Amino acid sequence: MQTFDAVRFLEVRDRVLAGEREKNGIGTLSEKSLHLILKHYYEPMTAFHEQKIGRYVADILNEDGVIEIQTRQFSAMRAKLNAFLAVTNVTIIHPVVHHKWMCWVDPQTGETTKKRKSPKTGSIYDAFWELGGIPELLADPRLTICLVLMDMEETRLLNGWSKNKKRGSTRADRIPRALLSETFLHTKEDYAALLPSPAVLPEPFSRKELAAAIGQPQDRGYTLVRVFGAVGVIEEVGKRGREYVYRRC
């Protein structure tokens, strides 16, 4: 797999966007931009793209094995992952938004608003919502998760159900602004490194305390303990009142 290179990533982004717009016309990319850019960044040789393995098509198949670019809905790819893992190593590339700039497009007139920066700041822990969709696969020694933290521009259509047409709207495209970091999760130690230190999160701790310690909403606590538990880095040790509590393994 290509080593981390933020400058090369931007070069790949610009080259891919220019090529697609020349081929298909501005605003009519044949493949979602983010997915296409990541595919060309992690495997520049297009001969390795879109390779069939049994019933399924892998985004990339090269000497490292299968590389799948998955932006969401990990649970929906369970059958495909099982098929791939039966024959080779698999790396899932999952982009995570750090800072986001948004603009809205009126689908009737084509009018586009100015880009505005979202007040939210994302972290790699946001990806645990997706990892919780495949907990039984996370400990497979042939599976690697690569969480790619990046700044992003997002374009959405004003076609939602709310009065301002933003709620329930359709996301048209996402364009990365910058590649910030890569976090690889392959071993138990990789996951354990993401747990807060005992000074920040004393034992035993509840789901809510774990979520608070890493800056996630309290309702994400269940998903966090599900993922950390699935890879064997925490275990349930009892209850404190009505809450289950956990400790590091």
CATH code, 195-248: 1.10.10.10
Mean pLDDT value of segment 1-6: 81
The predicted pLDDT at position 53 comes to: 94
* Phi (first) and psi of residue 103, to 5 degrees: -140, 155
The predicted pLDDT at position 23 comes to: 63
Mean pLDDT value of segment 36-53: 94
For the segment 68-115, what is each residue's pLDDT rounded down to a tens digit? 999 888 999 999 999 999 999 999 999 999 999 998 888 888 788 888
Cα 237 to Cα 160: distance, rounded to the nearest angstrom: 45
Burial of 210 (0-12, 13-18, 19+ CB in 10 A): buried
Indicate if the pLDDT at residue 63 is higher than 90: yes
| Of residues 173, 174, 157, 179, the one with CA closest to residue 7 | 179
Round the average pLDDT of the chain to a whole number and report it.
Answer: 90
Complete DSSP assignment for 85-134: HTTS-EEEEEEEEEEEEEEEE-TTT--BPPPEE-S----GGGGHHHHTT-
Question: Rounded to two decimals, what is the model's pTM?
Answer: 0.89
Cα 20 to Cα 236: distance, rounded to the nearest angstrom: 50
State what percent of residues in the chain have pLDDT above 70. 95
Structure tokens at 244: 């289950």
Structure tokens at 201: 């999160």
Q: Where in the chain is the domain with CATH 1.10.10.10?
A: 195-248
* Phi (first) and psi of residue 214, to 5 degrees: -110, 15
Indicate if the pLDDT at residue 32 is higher than 90: no
Query: What 8-state DSSP symbol labels residue 219?
Result: G
Triad 175, 179, 185: Cα angle to 5°: 115
For the segment 166-199, what is each residue's pLDDT rounded down to a tens digit? 787 778 788 999 999 999 999 999 999 999 999 9
The predicted pLDDT at position 21 comes to: 61
For the segment 9-28, what is each residue's pLDDT rounded down to a tens digit? 999 999 999 886 656 544 43
